[in-house]
Chains A and B, each alone.
Chain A
């Protein structure tokens, strides 16, 4: 059972913009923010954005993260076929003293 809530699937057209959401509570996303990971089928996850909304080198500017209250969002602009993947959010939960993940969102690029 995931600690954070993500929609199971999102579908968008090529070159469109997708916004993926991740909802937690005041013990995790609301106070700590959320990081984002991308996982292509058959590959390990890849770090996309920190909870401070910093992107590692090599990650496209098309990926941007934000937060409002207990909900974090990942916006992907100019969708490309290679963006089709599973996306996970993660956050430190101060009440559990543990990292928690969302259940993941499968992004389909039509």
Chain B
């Protein structure tokens, strides 16, 4: 059974750094793209970017390029989303999702709520 399990909720202050994770199991982690989606409170889904764990090839949405870093450690089947300096506007639910054979999002993590507040 394919599963994506994300790290727990985080509460941070503006300017702090953060790295959240998404561990894949039940499939070959290195042969499927996996990426991140932001959902701000009461809003829709926004695609942030994606990584191919096999060779770490990474693509970012133009809206998120330079704002976050996506990485992966294939030895532990885990993808990461990282901020170097959080802003209050980064407050949102973040989902990881796998890109299947045809489409993005055939399997989703449970979500990680990130709250940034002074």
- A positions within 8 Å CB-CB of B: 2, 35, 37, 39, 44-47, 50-52, 54, 56, 86, 88, 90, 92, 96-104
Contacts and interface: CB of A to CB of B under 8 A. Distances in A.
Contact of A50 (B44, B62, B103): B103
A56 B103 CA distance: 12
A52 B102 contact: yes
B22 to A, nearest CB: 12
Contact of A98 (B59, B100, B105, B110): B59
B108 A45 contact: yes
Contact of A90 (B61, B62, B105): B105
Contact of A101 (B46, B50, B109, B110): B46
A100 B44 contact: no
B102 A101 contact: no
Contacts of B100: 47, 50
A45 B37 CA distance: 10
Most-contacted residue by chain A among B97, B99, B104 (CB, 10 A): B104
Contacts of B109: 44
A47 B107 contact: yes
A6 to B, nearest CB: 9
A80 B114 CA distance: 33
Contacts of B45: 37, 39, 45, 88, 90, 101, 104
A90 B103 contact: yes
